[in-house]
Amino acid sequence: MMKFRFRRQGADPQREKLKQELFAFHKTVEHGFPNQPSALAFDPELRIMAIGTRSGAVKIYGAPGVEFTGLHRDAATVTQMHFLPGQGRLLTLLDDSSLHLWEIIHHNGCAHLEEGLSFHPPSRPSFDNASFPASLTRVTVVLLVAGNTAALGTESGSIFFLDVATLALLEGQTLSPDVVLRSVPDDYRCGKALGPVESLQGHLQDPSKILIGYSRGLLVIWSQATQSVDNVFLGNQQLESLCWGRGGSSIISSHSDGSYAIWSTDTGSPPTLQPTVVTTPYGPFPCKAINKILWRSCESGDHFIIFSGGMPRASYGDRHCVSVLRAETLVTLDFTSRVIDFFTVHSTQPADEFDNPQALAVLLEEELVVLDLQTPGWPAVPAPYLAPLHSSAITCSAHVANVPSKLWARIVSAGERQSPQPASSALSWPITGGRNLAQEPSQRGLLLTGHEDGTVRFWDASGVALRPLYKLSTAGLFQTDCEHADSLAQAVEDDWPPFRKVGCFDPYSDDPRLGIQKVALCKYTAQMVVAGTAGQVLVLELSEFPAEHAVSVANVDLLQDREGFTWKGHERLNPHTGLLPWPAGFQPRMLIQCLPPAAVTAVTLHAEWSLVAFGTSHGFGLFDYQRKSPVLARCTLHPNDSLAMEGPLSRVKSLKKSLRQSFRRIRKSRVSGKKRAPAASSKEANAQLAEQTCPHDLEMTPVQRRIEPRSADDSLSGVVRCLYFADTFLRDATHHGPTMWAGTNSGSVFAYALEVPAATAGGEKRPEQAVEAVLGKEVQLMHRAPVVAIAVLDGRGRPLPEPYEASRDLAQAPDMQGGHAVLIASEEQFKVFTLPKVSAKTKFKLTAHEGCRVRKVALATFASVMSEDYTETCLACLTNLGDVHVFSVPGLRPQVHYSCIRKEDISGIASCVFTRHGQGFYLISPSEFERFSLSARNITEPLCSLDISWPQNATQPRLQESPKLSQANGTRDIILAPESCQGSPSSAHSKRADTTEPPEATLSPVSIDSAASGDTMLDTTGDVTVEYVKDFLG
């Protein structure tokens, strides 16, 4: 007979109220570069820029911190965008020919983006003889003309006019191709159609005139005032783009054969047969089309001609180029990704005689590049945001909170030395619209990203704008083929065309072994550990001056001469020997090479003890980098762990084998389930009976799932998942000391007691005596689930402070009087053991209760919205289903849980990293981090406003307010709690603005997922584990 246990009746209302003051889920801002951009627009009056994407996202940027995000209801590509200058309104054209009007709405001082109206072209228009098949109603180009009118060029050659205020067609004003053909000589018609409308351009001095370009090559100046054709230019080459000169006396057109032509508009009414100038810049051999061209006049007399494409088809047809021509100077800007669009920042006042361009902004498929056109050499302008996070593929990430101001200044200084700006350059970032209303962050946060090319990038993650600070490169220490390849490429490169490499996006890695797997930083000593794919572990130290020194190398054999194992994977990286030059910044002091050279799976640093611990799929090691000597090496391989010796490239076979075994288990379970069918029916009857007799106001204990223990000989069981240092009680209950903890994929936990010589009073470094390690405890979890994280809690149940925090009075000293406990988080459950006896105290079986597995965990501090002095330390957990759970510590009682990431988004789940104050980051695309917050108090979100000037007779009719979708990358199926600023700040937010972050001494939680590292694992087959595939299939 089934037994039921009942909990206490109802919930504690005071605790529920406290939860609301502590926890709240928000997806706040998207950091990085928009994924798959497709359109670009710029408002010269408000100085704001808009980017549209293939997923239908609209993102508007101004000054750093000024950001607006929207998402079309239909997941269609944004093909064109046009600002209504000065009005804060944006007209977008999608690839389904629908038009959408977006507005920046202010409410209580806070601005946000809303979709107001939408327009779909009629399939069968019945006006002005424009009845043509539905297939020809596709809109090809949009132009905003005088007042609130938009001209729509179509594939059929017709031009419609639209009232922007209402998005309604203006009947009686449609311009059909037949009207234009009346002004064309008979011999030009010759039965051929004009083709689609390729370009529409407005006249700056006379807005009633429209320059129309047809695909066939015909150019027409149409007067809206007189409803007649003023000028006709009979071009015969297929048209790509048009631009009107500043004064309107000349027109420049670009064509599909790589040429451009200049036409004079002062020739009178007869049709113009020939342009005044025809040039093929990169001829005479066949060239690709010039997709877009701009003509900008300068007061100095030499005008700018800027165009994209036009490269020689045979030699450089695969290059992505924008050419800048001024007088006799031609520069071919060579990019590494496709050119989407570009614009110039110049004078747009009708009274000004010249354009005088200041900057050129080029939107590429993978980055945004801005060039200073006022400085000789046209240097690039550093971007305060929109930096391409994926300039090389991201392989890991980590967050460092509460960075000391001294270290922050040193990192910023090192970054400025890497990219010095010319002294003559006076141009700052030209996109400066709007005002950032958010307060200055009370503490600085660093986001570290490791990359496939062996670099570690430092980002300012304190606010809305993710600003690049510094780039650390480890490739210079190792011997690779990149130097030879670069020199060979430079030797082959010709002087013509005059290429100039621009941009930082470089997706190609010289050697995949350089990829960064783990990063750990000590913010108090400016020491850092970087571990890579080929078993290399680098210890670095921040230096303010360039230096030249040799790097010590030590090998650590993790197999310990165990017989029967042969490494079949990649070879180790060979380091350079002798003195090596190092720029200012983080400079390597020690290279520890793990043998076999497998990818490092865990690393942790304790700068106060001068120790670094590292683990691979073969075991773990402990190294004393002060004495440059190994302390410990432990092999964790199981006798059947042959897969661990093959390396990542040969794991495809094992993946198939594991999937085959999984399907066999599923088949067996189905067969056994059929045999137990009668028992199942009796259980259903009992459940119905219990439902009838059970009072509804009592909460029933959830049914636990039966979890089968894993086999001890599962492949990769020896992988070290986490490492942890702690000063705690391991040998007995009266003497505490340094310890090191290691957790493996098979559910084993090893605890070592360390003998570390104590530093002298007032001294920073410890004595030179050797460090000793003795195995104190070894724990084997019953279900052999992989150990994800380990943390020691003091007598008050709080996590231990980081190294140097307690000794420098930067955090509250831990309670060393009461009994300590160790929290062990596996993929299936959380468990608290008492120390030093290691007896079970509390546990929560997440897999049994929720049917999910743990992927990422971290200890975080949650501050109350009502009182800044009240904080709680909790355990934040991300599961394989994309849900985030928060548990109390040390009681492990569930507090809240939220749906955060789609369960199909394996890369996003693998890339998640938590912060110490209840926030988190995860990749929503290779180039974008989504930032979210679990804290009701600690929220980083855009708070900004725009100075908008509406025309006198402008109206703001809007349909129902478009729902604010949480992510602009198109993940629509996640329903979130409402943002705290949907036009007006909430009460919680207003309180947050008046308070400051709780002092660091309140609590000192630490992230326990391998020193705050979050593995991304996006690009290699070996990194997609069997468990991830099981989750996806299940």
How much is the pLDDT for 467? Answer: 94
pLDDT, averaged across the chain = 84
Tens of pLDDT, residues 227-255: 899 999 999 899 999 999 888 889 999 99
For residues 546 and 527, give the distance between their C-alpha atoms in angstroms, rounded to a whole number: 17
DSSP 99-133: EEEEEEEEETTEEEEEEEEEE---SS--STT----
d(CA 986, CA 667): 53
Burial class (CB in 10 A: 0-12, 13-18, 19+), 966: buried
What integer pLDDT is reported at residue 432 of this predicted model? Answer: 94
Structure tokens at 943: 């708070």
What's the pLDDT score for residue 638? 80
For 439, what's the count of Cα atoms within 13 Å in the CB-facing half-sphere? 14
- pLDDT mean over 559-586: 90
Peptide bond into 942 cis (omega under 30): no
pLDDT tens for residues 182-199?
A: 888 888 887 678 899 999
Using N-to-C axis directions, what is the helix angle for 651-675 and 677-693, rounded to 10°?
70
Q: Please report where in the chains the tokens 């100039």 appear, as a residue.
A: 500
pLDDT number for residue 369: 96
Binning pLDDT at 50, 70 and 90, where does residue 426 land? Answer: low
| Tokens read off for 395 | 């392989």
Burial (0-12, 13-18, 19+ Cβ within 10 Å), 635: middle
pLDDT digits 0-9 by tens, 821-832: 999 999 999 999
- pLDDT greater than 70 at residue 483: no
Phi/psi zone of residue 154: left (φ > 0), alpha (ψ -120 to 50 degrees), beta?
A: beta
Measured CA to CA, the distance from residue 608 to residue 765 in angstroms comes to: 7
What is the predicted pLDDT for the residue at 686? Answer: 44
Distance from the Cα of residue 871 to its chain's centroid:
30
What is the predicted pLDDT for the residue at 954? 53
Of residues 712 and 741, more confidence is placed in: 741
819-822, long-range: CB within 8 Å, 24+ apart, which pairs?
819/729, 819/733, 819/795, 820/728, 820/729, 820/736, 820/792, 820/793, 820/794, 820/795, 821/792, 821/793, 821/797, 821/890, 822/728, 822/741, 822/751, 822/790, 822/791, 822/792, 822/793
Burial of 557-567, coded b for 16+ CB within 10 Å and e otherwise, reads bbbeeeeebeb
- What are the DSSP calls for 521-583, one per residue? EETTTTEEEEEETTSEEEEEEEESS-EEE--EEEEEESSTT-TT----SPPPPPBP-S-EEE-
3-state helix, strand, coil in the chain (%, to 5): 15, 40, 50
* C-alpha R_g of the chain: 32
Residue-wise pLDDT for 679-720, tens only, equals: 444 444 444 434 443 443 434 445 566 665 666 555 688 999
Residue 1005: predicted pLDDT: 37
> What distance in Å separates the CA atoms of residue 721 and residue 617, rounded to the nearest whole number?
9
Instruction: Quote the CA–CA distance of 69 and 58 in Å, as a whole number.
Output: 6
C-alpha–C-alpha distance, residues 13 and 100, integer Å: 46
- Its pTM stands at 0.85
Angle of helix 1026-1033 relative to helix 651-675, nearest 10 degrees, comes to 40
Specify the pLDDT at position 108: 79
pLDDT tens readout for residues 248-299: 889 999 999 999 999 998 866 678 888 999 999 998 999 999 999 999 999 9
Q: Is the model's pLDDT at 634 over the cut of 60? A: yes
Q: Which two tokens stand for residue 755?
A: 């003998």
Strand 368-372 versus strand 359-364 pairing type: antiparallel
Residue-wise pLDDT tens digits, 964-995: 444 444 333 333 333 333 333 333 343 343 33
Q: Where would I find the H helices in 676-750?
A: 677-693
Evaluate whether 514 touches 533 at the Cβ level (below 8 Å).
Answer: yes
Structure tokens at 568: 């079949």
Token digits of residue 178 = 């037949």
Q: What is the pLDDT of residues 130-161, one digit of tens each?
A: 444 343 478 999 999 977 899 999 999 999 99
Cβ neighbours, 10 Å, residue 405: 9
- Tell me what pLDDT residue 381 has: 92
Quick check: helix, strand or coil at residue 430?
Answer: coil
pLDDT above 90 (res 561): no
pLDDT tens figures, 92-120: 999 999 999 999 998 877 889 999 999 98
Is the pLDDT at 834 greater than 70? The verdict is yes
Q: How many residues does the chain have?
A: 1034
The confidence band for 33, taking pLDDT boundaries of 50, 70 and 90, is very high
Instruction: Inform me whether the pLDDT recorded for 350 exceeds 50.
Output: yes
Asked whether the beta carbons of 938 and 946 are under 8 A apart, the reply is no
Q: Report which of 468, 461, 457, 629 is spatially closest to residue 539, judged by C-alpha positions.
A: 629
